[in-house]
Structure 1
Amino acid sequence: MNRKDLFSRALSLDSERLHFAAHSHHLWPDASFDGQLRAWVEANRFADRKWDLIFGEVIPEAQAQVARELNLPDPNTVVFAPSTHDLLLRIVSGIERKPVRILSTDGEFHSFRRQGERWEEAGEALITRVPLEPFETFGDRFVAAASGGGFDLIVVSQVFFRTGQVFDRIADLAALADPAGPWVVVDGYHGFMATPTDLSAVADRVFYLAGGYKYAMSGEGVCFLHAPDGYCPRPVITGWFAEFGDLSGPPGGVQYRADGGRFWGATFDVSPLYRFNAVRAMLDEAGLTTADVADHARGLMLRFQQAVGAGEAGGLAGAVLINPVGEGAERARFLAFRHERAPVWRQRLLDGGVVTDVRDDVIRFGFGLYQDEADVDRLVAVCGRVL
């Protein structure tokens, strides 16, 4: 199963390119183009009245789509922002204790990594980082550190961006969560719409951050937060959108919405939400679920993995495959190979018309709906020739 027909615009712009970076800047489906156009038309048709439409229809539709994807009991726990970094700042702003005591890992994405390092420099945070390696023991080591107490915030990825390894102990962290602290934040950017994710059992105790740049196929600017009720009721950093709706707060004080809307920012570009809604509608019309797409990608990954193992993909045979396709259903939508020549390989592949990406000494190959077995065979051939 490939659905190149759903990506005709993007693929036609560079018909010879092999884009194996679906885990990075995922190509946009044709439906997203239609969604972008709709955003423009409705903004100009309704002008000053457009926000009634956005908050009355566009945002609720997007909230419902996120809730359905994650099996959340209430769509109103979902709020949107241009980046997950914005939302992370709002969460941390609500922690009264300073410096904030944070438990995390040495494998988090740069939006947290860099901010955390700066907080430490400024004396605003004390961060304990649990090493990912050896990953076979990571889950036990991380949960043990969290169980030891003494943290205001626990931040961990569902799928680690560099290695593609999956953290499967979210329920254990949720059992430790408390409105008084610690709060648990799961970075789901490489999990959302990459692998089936059911948060119903932990939705009342964990925050979940993700966005549309990758597997949601919607581009930048459509990031979201699921915020459990009772946790961080009065974030310090919010915008004026947070004071519309069912409000609560001290008499004469700053009022907040009681649902996830307490994390709203201010005026923002809503066209990404239109793209997201259009892409989700496209998938529904095509009868495609995240599980379907993940199964398709899994088959392509296995084909590539076997070719590498057979020595058909040049120097990749000498690299360490960090996250091989195995028996587990939950996995990343990319294969990560560690080798000192990874940056050189990426450039050689790019010169050969193949788009991948590199994180330090790890080269990543991402798979999605717009690829088929013939594309994988072409990829193998290029690897065999240039690596």
Structure 2
Amino acid sequence: MSLAEHYTRFDVANRLLLTGHSHQAWPDVALEGQIEAFVDAASTVDDKWERAFAKADRVRNWFRTLLHDPSGDIALGANTHELVVRFLSALDMDRRPKLVTTDGEFHTLRRQLARLAEERVDVVLVPALPAETLAERLASEVDDRTAAVLVSSVLFETSRIVPGLDGLAEVCAARGVELLVDAYHALGVVPTTLDGLADAWVVGGGYKYLQLGEGNCFLRLPPHAQELRPVITGWYAEFDALADEKDPTRVTYGPGGTRFAGSTYDPTSHYRAVRVIDFFRAQGLTPEVLREISLRQTSLLAAAFDELDLVDATRDRSTPRSSFGGFLAVETPHAAQWQKALAARGVLTDSRGHHLRFGPAPYLRDDQLTAAMAALGEVSR
């Protein structure tokens, strides 16, 4: 399958873009979506929202499809942080002042939870590694003081898939504890279902592997979410009842995902997303196909890295590639230095701590992947 011809604006055929785990290129049709958003605004002005909301519904349905949750309640947001903050604001922190998470979470959770810890919220950090026992170790921290457990399904530094989240969900449900799963590094490279996670919250977005660009994030609500009242709430959460008489003593919320809605947003992101969603469907880029491509590409990168036989860099060889997500993590004390040197050679990667991350994408050729790894051999010398 050759996809590069559909990404001429990003010139993927002539660039070594190994940042597919952070920001994949957009297909050319994405620009058509952005133009459509402008045309609708220009022609209908404030009446554009009916068309914009229809695009938002398409985006919600796409996330439902990816989660295999056809009737799930989905709240949309510009980023995962605003959705996580609304989720946190709905917890009863007076009665349950404890949050359990890991030391391997993306900055969205890391920073916000660290700040809450400064305000005397009891935040328990469980070591993310080894991933094989992470779910079990998180479960052991759950007690009657715990409001929520927050964990990624794929760790953002190492790409390691976290097994056993269904068991963690069972423990949380038994103790009345909310479970929030960050699936951002799973969607588009690791087929995701809610088997055993029906009562979990799931947060994620399309900025990375799904090629939707900025402004396309979601929060999947469990059925019992209708009992919660987020303190951080936008006026879209009562959009369908704006004309109704308001009770000045109690804020009301809309049904379903609107309960966790925000306020006025830029709908251009959803116009762009719909064009990309239609492109993925036309190209047959199902979650299963994307997983197959990703595994083949990361395995190729891993084999090419092994051939370099570097002294001061390694990777996890004890775990099969099927236990990883969409990128290869190389561990080296020179991660930041090598990233800059690779960029100077036209190879775009990124680094997180001691991890140099190589993220392929479906539109890259095999020779581009081997060329990128050959460049690593050059900079390491």
1:310 counterpart (307, 314, 330) = 307
Please name the residue that 2:294 is paired with.
297
1:116–1:127 CA contact under 8 A, matched in 2: yes
Deviations, residues 114-154 of structure 1 (Å, cap 9, x unaligned): 1111111122x2111110223343233223333x4531011
Whole-Å Cα distance in 2 between the matches of residues 365 and 3 of structure 1? 20
2:135–2:168 CA contact under 8 A, matched in 1: no
Q: 1:275 to 1:380 in 2, by over 3 A?
A: same
1:372 counterpart (360, 365, 368) = 365
1:188 counterpart (183, 190, 197) = 183
Whole-Å Cα distance in 2 between the matches of residues 174 and 323 of structure 1? 29
Please name the residue that 1:384 is paired with.
377
Q: What is the CA distance between 1:385 and its match in structure 2?
A: 2.0
- State the secondary structure of the residue aligned to 1:45: helix
User: In the alignment, does 2:25 pair up with 1:30?
Assistant: no
1:71–1:200 CA contact under 8 A, matched in 2: no
Please name the residue that 2:86 is paired with.
90
Letter in 2 for 1:113: R
Whole-Å Cα distance in 1 between the matches of residues 158 and 321 of structure 2? 18
Deviates more, 1:43-52 or 1:104-113: 43-52
Whole-Å Cα distance in 1 between the matches of residues 173 and 70 of structure 2? 19
Please, which runs of 5 or more residues in structure 2 have no aligned partner? Answer: none
Please name the residue that 1:353 is paired with.
346
Please, which runs of 5 or more residues in structure 1 have no aligned partner? Answer: none
Q: 1:307 to 1:327 in 2, by over 3 A?
A: closer
Runs of 4+ in 1 over 4 A off after TM superposition: none
Q: How does 1:155-234 map to 2 (within 5 A)?
A: 155-178=150-173, 181-199=176-194, 201-203=196-198, 205-231=199-225, 233-234=228-229
Whole-Å Cα distance in 2 between the matches of residues 97 and 380 of structure 1? 48
Q: How does 1:228-243 map to 2 (within 5 A)?
A: 228-231=222-225, 233-243=228-238
Q: What is the CA distance between 1:170 and its match in structure 2?
A: 2.1
Whole-Å Cα distance in 2 between the matches of residues 156 and 353 of structure 1? 34
Please name the residue that 1:10 is paired with.
10
How many corresponding residue pairs? 376
Please name the residue that 1:127 is paired with.
123
Deviations, residues 144-203 of structure 1 (Å, cap 9, x unaligned): 333x45310110001111111111222122223449831110111101122111125423
Whole-Å Cα distance in 2 between the matches of residues 6 and 183 of structure 1? 42
Deviates more, 1:363-372 or 1:285-294: 285-294
Q: What is the CA distance between 1:34 and its match in structure 2?
A: 1.3
- State the secondary structure of the residue aligned to 2:356: strand
- State the secondary structure of the residue aligned to 1:321: coil
Q: What is the CA distance between 1:325 and its match in structure 2?
A: 7.1
Identity value in percent: 31
Q: What is the CA distance between 1:280 and its match in structure 2?
A: 0.9
Q: 1:172 to 1:325 in 2, by over 3 A?
A: closer
Letter in 2 for 1:45: S
2:132–2:162 CA contact under 8 A, matched in 1: no
2:239 counterpart (238, 244, 248) = 244
Deviations, residues 283-316 of structure 1 (Å, cap 9, x unaligned): 111122122122112112111211221227xx4x
